[in-house]
C-alpha cells in the first residue's frame, strides 16, 4: 500500500488535516509545524493520491483536447503545444480523436470522459451552427477552436481567416499571378474556415479589380490532407484547367498539390506558385519550401489553455474571442530563395 496522509500525519505528530493544509499551501501554519510535515513527507516519500483528492473536490486537474486526428501535422503540433501549456498550469491533457465524424464529435461532448476532465478544448470539423445548442447547456468549461459552431456565449480561440487569406491571395497577385486556384472550399459548408478563407480570396481579387473565374474555386472533401490536395489538383490538370497559382486552404493540401504539380512535370513556382495556410513544420523543408500563413501557431494553444484554466478556476467573466495576429511566411513555392541550411545556420 502506498503512503497516505495519515502516515505522514502520524510521523509528523499532527493531524491529517494539517498535512493537507501544508500540501495545499494553506498560509496559516506555524513554520515549525510545516517543516516537520515536509520532513515527514520527504522521509516517507509521500505522494498525494490524486484520485482521492478528485473525488473530494470534484476537480481532476485533467482537461480534454478533442481534435480530428493526431496524425494530421497541424493537430499534432497543436496538441504538443497544448500539453506543454497545460503543464505550465499544472494540468494534464487527454486527447480525444473524433476523426471529423459527426457522431463522434457529439459523443465527445457528453461521453464518459467528461467526468474525468475539468473542461474541454474542442476543435470540431463536422458540426455546424445548428449544433450551437448542444454546446450551450454543457455543465463544464468549454473553449472552442475555430468557428464552425460560433456562438457569442462560448469562449473561442480562432484565426483571422479572412484577412489572412486575403493577404495570401494578394501575395500571389503581387507576384503577377492572375489565375489563382482556391483549393479547399466546400459547397456544403456554410461555416468554418473554408468560407471565411474563400471570402478573403475574393476580397483580394475585388480589391485588385479582378474577377474570379468560378472554375478556379475548387471544392475538396473536408479532409484537408496531402492526398486530397494531390488528387484534386491532379483532376484540374487532367481537365486542362489553366492556372498559374494555387492558394490552398491549409498546408497539407498545398504540399499534396505541390507534389502532384511536380509529378506532372510542371515547375513550382515557375509554372505554378503555391501558398498554404497553417505554417506547419513540414513546409519548411519541402521542395521547394512552402509559402504559408502563420495564423498564430504559438499563441493559439497557449490562449486556449489559459481561457479554459480561467473558467475552470472560476475567474473568468463573459465569453471571450481571441484571434491572434497572423503573418505571411515567404517560401520557395512563391519564389523566395530557399537558403542552404549550413549557410543559414552560420548567418
Print the binding letters for residues 50-89 with DNA: x by CB under 7 A, - otherwise. Answer: --xx-xxx--------------------------------
* Closest distance of CB 74 from a second copy, Å: 10
Query: Could you say which of a second copy, DNA, none residue 325 binds, taking C-beta under 5 to 8 angstroms by partner kind?
Result: none
- Nearer to a second copy by Cβ, of 97 and 169: the residue is 97
Instruction: Give yes or no for residue 14 binding DNA (CB under 7 A).
Output: yes
Q: Please give the Cα distance from 274 to 251 (Å, whole number).
A: 10
- Nearer to DNA by Cβ, of 33 and 134: the residue is 33
List 64's β-bridge partners, or say none.
Answer: 94, 120
H or E element that contains 70 = none
Instruction: Give yes or no for residue 51 binding a second copy (CB under 8 A).
Output: yes
Q: Please give the Cα distance from 198 to 161 (Å, whole number).
A: 9
Q: Please give the Cα distance from 11 to 18 (Å, whole number).
A: 12
Closest by Cα among 317, 331, 335 to 289: 331
Instruction: Give yes or no for residue 18 binding DNA (CB under 7 A).
Output: yes
* Binds a second copy by CB under 8 A, chosen from 39, 42, 50, 210: 50
Instruction: Give yes or no for residue 95 binding a second copy (CB under 8 A).
Output: yes
Specify whether the CB–CB gap between 108 and 115 falls below 8 A. Answer: no
* Closest distance of CB 12 from DNA, Å: 8
How many other C-beta atoms are found inside a 10 Å radius of the C-beta of residue 332? 21
Q: Please give the Cα distance from 333 to 277 (Å, whole number).
A: 13
* Closest distance of CB 59 from a second copy, Å: 10
- Residues in CB range of 123: below 8 A, 6 or more apart: 65, 66, 67, 68, 75, 78, 144, 145, 146
Specify whether the CB–CB gap between 9 and 38 falls below 8 A. Answer: no
* Closest distance of CB 108 from a second copy, Å: 12
H-type helices in 208-274, by residue range? 226-238, 251-263
- Nearer to a second copy by Cβ, of 51 and 209: the residue is 51
Q: What sign for the dihedral angle of Cα 158, 68, 280, 219?
A: negative
| Binding to a second copy in span 102-141, by CB under 8 A | 112-113, 115-116
* The one segment of 24-32, 168-176, 215-223, 286-294 that binds a second copy by CB under 8 A: 286-294
- Nearer to DNA by Cβ, of 34 and 222: the residue is 34
Query: Could you say which of a second copy, DNA, none residue 17 binds, taking C-beta under 5 to 8 angstroms by partner kind?
Result: DNA
* The one segment of 14-22, 50-58, 177-185, 215-223 that binds a second copy by CB under 8 A: 50-58
Instruction: Give yes or no for residue 313 binding a second copy (CB under 8 A).
Output: no
Amino acid at each position: 500500500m502506498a503512503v497516505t496522509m495519515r502516515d505522514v500525519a502520524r510521523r509528523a505528530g499532527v493531524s491529517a488535516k494539517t498535512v493537507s493544509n501544508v500540501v495545499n499551501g494553506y498560509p496559516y501554519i506555524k513554520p515549525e509545524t510545516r517543516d516537520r510535515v515536509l520532513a515527514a513527507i520527504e522521509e516517507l516519500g509521500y505522494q498525494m493520491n490524486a484520485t482521492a483528492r478528485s473525488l473530494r473536490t470534484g476537480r481532476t486537474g485533467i482537461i480534454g483536447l478533442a481534435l480530428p486526428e493526431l496524425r494530421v501535422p497541424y493537430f499534432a503540433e497543436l496538441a504538443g503545444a497544448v500539453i506543454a501549456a497545460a503543464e505550465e498550469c499544472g494540468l494534464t491533457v487527454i486527447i480525444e480523436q473524433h476523426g471529423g465524424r459527426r457522431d463522434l464529435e457529439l459523443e465527445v461532448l457528453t461521453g464518459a470522459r467528461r467526468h474525468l476532465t475539468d473542461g474541454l478544448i474542442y476543435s470540431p470539423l463536422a458540426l455546424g451552427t445548428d449544433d450551437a445548442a448542444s454546446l450551450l447547456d454543457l455543465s463544464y468549461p468549454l473553449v472552442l477552436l475555430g468557428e464552425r459552431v460560433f456562438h457569442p456565449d462560448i469562449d473561442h480561440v480562432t484565426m483571422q481567416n479572412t484577412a489572412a487569406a486575403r493577404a495570401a491571395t494578394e501575395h500571389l497577385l503581387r507576384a503577377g499571378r492572375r489565375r489563382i486556384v482556391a483549393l479547399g472550399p466546400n459547397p456544403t459548408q456554410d461555416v468554418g474556415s473554408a468560407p471565411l478563407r474563400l471570402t478573403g480570396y475574393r476580397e483580394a481579387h475585388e480589391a485588385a479589380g479582378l474577377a474570379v473565374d468560378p472554375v478556379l474555386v475548387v471544392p475538396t472533401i473536408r479532409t484537408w490532407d496531402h492526398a486530397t490536395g494531390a488528387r484534386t489538383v491532379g483532376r484540374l490538370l487532367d481537365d486542362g484547367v489553366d492556372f498559374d497559382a494555387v492558394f490552398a486552404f491549409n498546408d497539407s493540401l498545398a504540399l499534396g498539390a505541390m507534389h502532384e504539380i511536380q509529378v506532372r512535370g510542371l515547375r513550382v513556382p515557375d509554372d505554378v506558385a503555391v501558398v498554404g495556410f497553417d505554417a506547419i513544420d513540414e513546409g519548411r523543408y519541402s521542395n521547394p519550401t512552402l509559402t504559408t500563413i502563420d495564423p498564430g501557431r504559438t499563441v493559439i494553444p497557449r490562449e486556449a489553455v489559459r481561457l479554459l484554466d480561467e473558467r475552470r478556476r472560476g475567474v473568468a467573466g463573459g465569453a471571450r474571442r481571441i484571434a491572434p495576429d497572423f503573418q505571411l511566411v515567404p517560401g520557395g513555392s512563391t519564389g523566395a530563395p530557399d537558403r542552404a541550411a549550413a549557410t543559414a545556420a552560420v548567418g
